Amino acid sequence: MSTVSKATQTFSLDKEVLAEVKRTKGKGSASERANHLLKFALELEKKAALHEEAAGFFPAGPGERDERRSYQAATVRSWSRD
């Protein structure tokens, strides 16, 4: 069984954030809840960055769709001639 290693680090949290962590912690500790929320936020941030990167490779503007439809129509016409 693997052991999770933890390091003690001090962060300053807004009072509202701390109150929400304490309110939603359930049976676990506030530290466990904060770790869970941070991991979730980091994963969400990573997915957003990947989505943004993909959008740069595959822009889907209205002009591109018009060009794609024109190309498809021309392809169909060329196939029908063969």
4 belongs to a structural domain: no
The 10 Å Cβ neighbour count of residue 33 is 17
Segment (H or E) for 59: none
User: 76 pLDDT band (50/70/90 cuts)?
Assistant: confident
3 belongs to a structural domain: no
Number of domains in the chain: 1
Please report, as a single letter, which amino acid is at residue 74: A
Query: Tokens 């929400």 — which residue?
Result: 20
77 belongs to a structural domain: yes
Question: The whole model's pTM is what?
Answer: 0.61
5 belongs to a structural domain: no
Query: What is the four-CA torsion angle of 41, 46, 52, 58, rounded to 10 degrees?
Result: -140
Q: Which domain holds residue 38?
A: 15-81
Residue-wise pLDDT tens digits, 12-44: 999 999 999 999 999 999 999 999 999 999 999
Maximum Cα–Cα distance across the chain: 73
Quick check: 58 pLDDT over 80?
no
25 belongs to a structural domain: yes
